[in-house]
Every structure is written in C-alpha cells, then in structure tokens.
Amino acid sequence: MNPKAHGKPPMKYNRRRFVKTVAAGVGGACLLAAHGAAFAPWRFFNAAEARLVDAITERIIPADQDPGASEAGVINFLDKQLASRLRRHQQTYRDGLVGVEETSRVMFEGSFVALAVDQQIEVLKALESGKAKGETWRKQSAPSFFRLICDHTMAGFYGGPQHGGNRGYASYKMLGIDYPQIIGQNRYRRKN
C-alpha cells in the first residue's frame, strides 16, 4: 500500500524515535517483571522450599497407577494452609526443611531433590527414626517434624479440594468414592 496514494505522508522512523520506543518497551517489561515478582505463586514457601516439600510429599504418597502427592497438589494445600490456618507451624517447617537438606548432604552429599528415590527414602527413614544427622536436629525433633509433614500431607491428599490439595479429586477417585456431599452445603440455593 502506498501512503502517498491516500494523501498521508510516509512515517519517518528515525533513530531518536526508535530509541524512545525501545526504551518505553524495556521500561514496561521491567515494571511488569517487578510487579510479577511481588505476586509470586507461593504464599508461604519460596521456590526452593516448594520443590523440596513437593519431593518430600511425593515420597510420602508416591504415584503408582494413581496420582501421588505431587500430582494431587499437596504442595498447594501446604502452602495455602501454612499462610493461614497452620501459621503456627511456619517456623517448624522452615527449620525442618533446612534439617532435611543438612541430612541429605551428610548422608549422600547432595540436595534432597537431586537424590535418587531410594536415597530420598533413606533420608526420610533417618528423620522418622530420630537418626538424622545435622545441626538442626539438635534444636528440633526430626521424628516430630516427619510426623507433622506426614499428617499435613495426608490432609492435603485426602481432604477437600477447596482447601488447596486433592487436585482433580485424586484421592476420591483412587478410593472409588464420590465427592462427599456436605449436608446444608446448598441450603441457600434457590429451588425452581
């Protein structure tokens, strides 16, 4: 299309205009990135903690022919609940996760998430039995932390999806039960 044919002069795109356009685009991208960082996907965990907790819970309820804790979104349940109802356990989780990493490095010279499944299981057995090595476990009980994360994993896997876990009703499907109906749940629903 010829701009002169429509009576409009051709648009000049000089270097100054190009620099302004690029600067505006880069500035906008930086603003969006900064805005996005403030709204990270996690409420309580940071990204590394979330990966670690996801790996731990997947060893507690591993996938087989049915989804495990990871696919059922147990990490989402834990993150949501630790930012609200289970707030009192925040420091226990922070310290416990440091302890899991210490034990993993002492036993297998690597981070828990990088270990083979058998090694991860050995680390969790050490926690459960109270034989876990690491500075953290001198101040906090490894078996108590292990029981706590097990209990919360079960709650996230078997509880109602509205609480953040049991994605796609994974545990209900595994057990072959229907989604439990709550009496009075729809008491305000209009009847036709």
Q: What is the pLDDT of residues 70-97, one digit of tens each?
A: 888 899 989 999 998 989 999 999 999 9
Both tokens assigned to 44:
């309580």
- Averaging pLDDT over each range in 29-43, 51-65, 106-120, which range is the top one? 106-120
Stretch 168-177: mean pLDDT: 72
**Structural tokens at position 83:** 């930012």
What pLDDT digit, counting tens, does each position of 4-13 carry?
555 555 555 5
Confidence bin at 131 (pLDDT 50/70/90)? very high
Amino acid 139: pLDDT: 95
Q: Which pLDDT score is estimated for 158?
A: 79
Q: Give the CA dihedral 61, 63, 69, 75, nearest 10 degrees.
A: 130
Write down the number of H helices and E strands in the chain. Answer: 7, 0
Asked if 81 and 152 touch (Cβ cutoff 8 Å), the reply is yes
Q: Give the SS3 label for residue 99.
A: helix
Take residue 114 and report the two structure tokens written for it: 């990088």
DSSP code for 84: T
Residue owning tokens 């932390």? 145
Q: What is the mean pLDDT of residues 25-37?
A: 42
* CB-CB contact of 90 with 44 (8 Å): yes
| Region of residue 7 (phi > 0: left; psi between -120 and 50: alpha; otherwise: beta) | left
Percent residues over pLDDT 90 in the chain = 47
Residue pair 58/70 in contact (Cβ under 8 Å)? The answer is: yes
Residue 185 — pLDDT band, cuts 50, 70, 90? low
103, 111 contact by CB (below 8 A): no
Is the model's pLDDT at 61 over the cut of 90?
no
